[in-house]
Amino acid sequence: QDHVCDKKIVLGSPVPLSFWPYLEEFFGMVGCKNNSFRMRCKLCAPKYHELMAFKNSPSNLKKHIEVKRYTQLTSADLERRSSAEGSLAPPSKQTKLWETRRVSQASVDKVVLEFVVQGLHPPHIVQQQGFIDLLQHLQPNTNVMTRNTLVNKVTKASVEMKTKLKAALSEIEFIATTTDCWTAHRRSFIGVTAHWFNPQTMQRSCAALACKQLKGSHTFSALAGALNDIHTEFNVREKIVRTTTDNGSNFLKAFRVYGQMDEKNDNPASVGEGDGEEDDGGQNDDYDEEEESVEGVEFVDAGALLDKDDYLEYQLPKHHRCACHLLNLVSTVDASKAEVNPLYKRVSRSTFAKCSSLWTKSSRSITASEVIEEHCKLQLIRPVATRWNSFFSAVERIVRITREQGEGALAAVCSELDTPKFTPVELGFLAEYVKTMSPVARALDVLQGETSVQMGWLVPTITLLKTKLQHLHSASRFCEPLIAALLSGLEKRFGEMLVVLSRYQHFGTGTGTKMYFDTFDTFG
């Protein structure tokens, strides 16, 4: 019989292939059993040669061709035939042999390097047996680089990346930078990021210039020296139009002393401690003027010149204060001035003291966290001292618990943890505090955007924030002093920026501005 049977092997002349029509030129099917097929090679004729092949894997047939070195059939030919008639072939659960990509050792090393760098993994990860087994399982014929090799490759890649960055920045005319300094794991660090517009696409680009350890105290001179070295290393000192920092006193003094003068008084002309040392002319009055005229030599006190500090050791660009940090100061320093009102001071301090007691308990005790999870179905958020946003989120979480689980859940938690319970007035104050500060938090979210935020969004954001606070002022029960303090802080810290509004009669009529207002409204 010349047909194919699924249960037994039927011998006879080769029949057409129904599963692999692109191989019909080279093989004929003699018989089958279940999912195994007996194939006869036509290329071996007149010698009779049979092979076995599985239904979903013709790799055995391909190996036969490669062993016999039939050059007329290449992998590209098979792949092209397979793609042309792929609709007739059944779906395969196993990758075809000729589709398997051979990976070189260099490409494996490159992928491992990217894995370590992008994931911030320690170099010794390549020495872990689990990582070695994984890589050798995926690519048995490759080797895993050693720790020293990885460190050398990372160093080399860093040098190459810095060289490319310097070449890219050399073609940019104007650059802005942002700088911050922080402490982590008992070490101090300074970071600098450059921002610019791509001249061809006009798209904003950014790159990290430095993130390195800063030894010693964070004095204004130490910061100025570190910034000057980074700007000089990348040859961008003359291209930087502004450097944005927080409002730390060390940064402010560094730019006040070493920064460029600005006609808008962002960098005052006075240099503080150096004012009294600028005029040393009176020290030479004791010398004989007649002797000087005869000899033609002017005698000066060399020690005084060496001791004189003219603040030209470093050169920094113009300074710009971070608007988000200013808004954080409004939410903390300026908001605290609302406590001049005795009633607000008493309610706010009592309420926040009880909140702090709960936050401390939940962070120091696993049992307390389990109690909170059981009654509230949520965990509390502990605020971070340096970020007001975290304090707002922590208070908002308490208000959410009382709204979703009821006041009884919070009372049960306070009872089991032996902390003071909230009174109805204090719970009402928390709810109104969240409602009052919500526009401030949303404004910070807008200004802290990574990609979509624009410099032109600052004034509209502050303006809308003032408007929302003014609308809340009339309906406020507990937070009238807080709203007044916030409005006063906004005027003090952003007043000069808001003056721009009076210069444009048609502000807010453009399509782009309307789109911004719609976007801000979605945030609250």
Instruction: Note the pLDDT tens digit of each residue in 236-250.
Output: 989 999 999 988 889
Instruction: Note the pLDDT tens digit of each residue in 509-524.
Output: 444 444 444 444 444 4
Asked whether the whole model's pTM tops 0.85, one would answer no
Phi/psi region, residue 205 (left: phi>0; alpha: psi -120 to 50; beta: rest), is: beta
Omega prior to 46 cis, within 30 of 0:
yes
Cβ atoms 21, 32 nearer than 8 A = no
Average pLDDT on 412-439 reads 92
DSSP assignment of 406-442 equals: -HHHHHHHHHHHT-PPPPHHHHHHHHHHHHHHHHHHH
Cβ atoms 420, 352 nearer than 8 A = no
Instruction: Note the pLDDT tens digit of each residue in 333-392.
Output: 999 999 999 999 999 999 999 999 999 988 888 988 899 988 888 899 988 877 888 899
DSSP assignment of 91-157 equals: PPSS--GGGPPPPPHHHHHHHHHHHHHHTT--GGGGGSHHHHHHHHHH-TT--PPPHHHHHHHHHHH
Amino acid making up residue 75: S
DSSP assignment of 258-306 equals: HBPP-TTSSS-S--GGGGGGS--GGGGTTS-HHHHHHHT-----HHHHH
**What residues does each domain of the chain span?**
21-73, 323-505
Please give the Cα distance from 283 to 416 (Å, whole number).
76
Task: Note the pLDDT of residue 344.
Answer: 92
Please give the Cα distance from 398 to 378 (Å, whole number).
9
Instruction: Note the pLDDT tens digit of each residue in 315-328.
Output: 899 998 888 888 99
Which tokens go with 343?
């009633």
CA angle 34, 37, 41 (to 5 degrees): 175
